[in-house]
Amino acid sequence: MQLTVWTYEGPPHVGAMRVATAMEGVHYVLHAPQGDTYADLLFTMIERRDKRPPVTYTTFEARDLGKDTAELFQATLIAAHERFKPQAMLVGSSCTAELIQDDPGGLARATDLPIPVIPLELPSYQRKENWGAAETFYQIVRTLAGSPRGKAMADRADRDRRPLCNLLGPTALGFRHRDDVAEITKLLGEIGVDVGVVAPLGAAPDDIARLGDADFNVVLYPEIAGVAAKWLKRTFGQDFTTTVPIGVGATRDFIAEVGRLAGGAVTDAAGRISPSNLPWFSRSVDSNYLTGKRVFVFGDATHALAAARVATEEFGFTLCGLGTYSREFARDMRAAAAQHGLEAVISDDYLDVEASIAEAQPELVLGTQMERHIAKRLGIACAVISAPVHVQDYPARYSPQMGFEGANVLWDSWVHPLVMGLEEHLLGMFRDDFEFHDGARPSHLGAGARVEPAPEMAVRASESSSAVTAVAEAAAPIALGWGSDAEEELRKIPFFVRGKARRNTEQFALERGLAEITVETLYDAKAHFSR
């Protein structure tokens, strides 16, 4: 049993719902108890969808368990088919139905519906939401993808035909999936590549049958489309992209990769692609203050890996932490972290992540809604880069993460939470100014104080992690060994590095056997550690 308060991912059937809801003409019959219908509100409230998800739940109750829940499943399936007239159906169990072992796949076969019915085996007690989405999409592709006509078409194609690709991976309830699809479709058009099918988002079963027409596949979200893309490669011989075009550099790499997959048919893009403002903004002199800012990155593997690259190569930040809750991508994440001299945080326990953030003492957190809350408690700036999502992560404006416009969005949303350069200097110089104190928020974010860590934080911290304790203590009165002058001086150091300065100074004093820490010791230590 895992004790948890918040989860990064829902159960795997929610992943299946994300795929079903993204598609047209597909209906999902879920064997599930009353109450599992809560998942509808993820789509209707968080994503503000104007339609109910295409999901029918059997909603069995205790009294049904003694009777025939299998019959209930079949009746529900038949009624849903009649009412919604889908072109294909998905059937499966939620966690509770998995325990009663009714075998929705077998029951569906027995009802002999005149459309494809795809059974989903999603082990709720082992797997999670993204795995469920990937497995569902894979099963849909396997069942409905038809035959590989693409090669045949390509063979007899006239030389002027533009290369054709599919975009794979976007789902309902994704982090900016809709806008990423628009941006990448536009980008591909500008480099002379046509998009055949986008799936699952907006695809009908007929569209899935056309997947084989394309020359290659673009995998936007490997967590969701990776398995299906590998199957399409094995079965239809379609190559797929491995670069996720988040950030300027990755988008350039992506264009180059698409060029290779399209057999060099990509037209010279120089004049047509609208470039990003990010490179110039980042080189403009006022961005100097961003240099070396300590950034902690956590999210799903796709977005966290991309953010790590963008943060370091395109913003000039220093990575002080990197991790993911996507255990399936732990190896990639560990390799990326190692490049920055870090050990990756692979965890789906937000308390562990909180402890890691507190220990790393970043100046900016790029994370999920979970990390946004953690950062708020710790008084650290934060931008959201990945699911799990909140209604705020569905902005009204066009706001992709991918492509060159996506890089503009990253620039704006990552810089915005920070204190601006000049303001930061003034904060450092006039630390005791009553309006410019530690607790003040960046002035462009309006009035109000930083949220102080809640008092219960200290209680939790003492048991949950020594790292959090260190931060809690950094704000607390200074312990023995510190002279009052040194203590006063320590307070003048920005709060986000104060804990580290304190630890370094104490270690320095300890190593030299100093009984008391003075202002001199503090600056000796600073000089020692800055070498």
Partner 1 sequence: MTPPFAGEGAAVPVAGCRERPVMRERGQREVFCGLTGIVWLHRKIQDAFFLVIGSRTCAHLMQSAAGVMIFAEPRFATAVMEERDLAGLADANDELDAAVARLLERRPDIKMLFLVGSCPSEVIKLDLSRAAARLSDRHAPAVRILSYSGSGIETTFTQGEDRCLAALVPELPRVDNAPPQLLIVGALADVVEDQFARLFAAMGLDTVCFLPPRRAGDLPAVGPNTRFLLAQPFLADAAKALEARGAAHIAAPFPLGAEGTTLWLKAAAQAFGVDPMCFRAATAAPEARAKRALAPLEASLAGRRVFFFPDSQLEIPLARMLSRELGARLVEVGTPYLHRQHLAEELALLPEGTVLSEGQDVDRQLDRVRAAAPDITVCGLGLANPLEAEGLTTKWSIELLFTPIQGYEQAGDLAALFARPLDRQTRLRV
Residue ranges of the binding site for substrate: 421-422
* Overall size of the chain counted in residues: 531
CA–CA separation, 404 and 406 (whole Å): 5
CA–CA separation, 149 and 442 (whole Å): 57
Binding-site positions:
36, 421-422
Binding residues among 378-437 for partner 1 as defined by CB under 8 A: 390
Task: Pick the stretch among 53-61, 206-214, 417-425, 508-516 that binds partner 1 (CB under 8 A).
Answer: 53-61
Binding-site positions for [4Fe-4S] cluster:
36
Q: x-or-dash pattern for partner 1, window 341-370, by CB under 8 A?
A: ----------------------------xx
Residues 30-42 as b/e (b if ≥16 CB within 10 A, e otherwise) read: bbbbeebbebbeb
Residue closer to partner 1, measured from CB, 128 or 502: 128
Residue (of 56, 197, 352, 115) closest to 188 by Cα position: 197
User: Minimum distance from CB of 461 to partner 1 (Å)?
Assistant: 10
Identified binder of partner 1 from the candidate list 37, 267, 277, 518, rule CB under 8 A? 37
Tell whether residue 289 is a contact of partner 1 (CB under 8 A). Answer: no
Catalytic pick from 160, 194, 286, 412?
286
Tell whether residue 373 is a contact of partner 1 (CB under 8 A). Answer: yes
Tell whether residue 13 is a contact of partner 1 (CB under 8 A). Answer: yes
Identified binder of partner 1 from the candidate list 230, 252, 334, 377, rule CB under 8 A? 377
User: DSSP secondary-structure letter at 37?
Assistant: G
Contact (Cβ atoms closer than 8 angstroms) between residue 471 and residue 361: yes
Tell whether residue 4 is a contact of partner 1 (CB under 8 A). Answer: yes
Residue closer to partner 1, measured from CB, 51 or 531: 51
Angle between helices 484-491 and 519-530 (to 10 degrees): 50
Number of residues this chain uses to bind partner 1 (CB under 8 A):
64
The string of DSSP letters for 436-502 reads SSTTBPPGGG-S-BPPPPPHHHHHHHHHH-HHHHHHHHHHSPP-TTB-HHHHHHHHTS-HHHHHHHH
Identified binder of partner 1 from the candidate list 16, 20, 26, 56, rule CB under 8 A? 56
Tell whether residue 331 is a contact of partner 1 (CB under 8 A). Answer: no
C-alpha to C-alpha distances, 59 to 18, 62, 197, 222, 307, nearest whole angstrom = 19, 10, 35, 33, 41
User: Minimum distance from CB of 378 to partner 1 (Å)?
Assistant: 12
Residue 409 identity (one-letter amino acid): V
Identified binder of partner 1 from the candidate list 41, 338, 476, 510, rule CB under 8 A? 41
Contact (Cβ atoms closer than 8 angstroms) between residue 191 and residue 245: no
Contact (Cβ atoms closer than 8 angstroms) between residue 74 and residue 110: yes
Residue (of 261, 228, 231, 227) closest to 243 by Cα position: 261
C-alpha to C-alpha distances, 212 to 142, 151, 243, 302, nearest whole angstrom = 11, 8, 21, 25
Residue closer to partner 1, measured from CB, 49 or 162: 49
Identified binder of partner 1 from the candidate list 17, 26, 42, 337, rule CB under 8 A? 42
Residue closer to partner 1, measured from CB, 42 or 493: 42
User: DSSP secondary-structure letter at 391?
Assistant: G
Tell whether residue 35 is a contact of partner 1 (CB under 8 A). Answer: yes
Q: What is the distance between the terminal CA atoms of the chain, rounded to a whole angstrom?
A: 47
Q: How would you class 334 by CB atoms within 10 Å of its CB: exposed for 0-12, middle for 13-18, buried for 19 or more?
A: middle
Residue closer to partner 1, measured from CB, 75 or 152: 75
Residue closer to partner 1, measured from CB, 308 or 375: 375
Q: Is 179 a catalytic residue?
A: no
Tell whether residue 327 is a contact of partner 1 (CB under 8 A). Answer: no
Mind telling me the catalytic residues? 286
Residues that bind partner 1 (CB under 8 A): 1-7, 9-11, 13-14, 33-42, 44-46, 48-52, 56-62, 64-65, 76, 79, 83, 94-96, 99-100, 123-126, 128, 369-370, 373, 376-377, 390, 454, 456, 459-460, 463-464
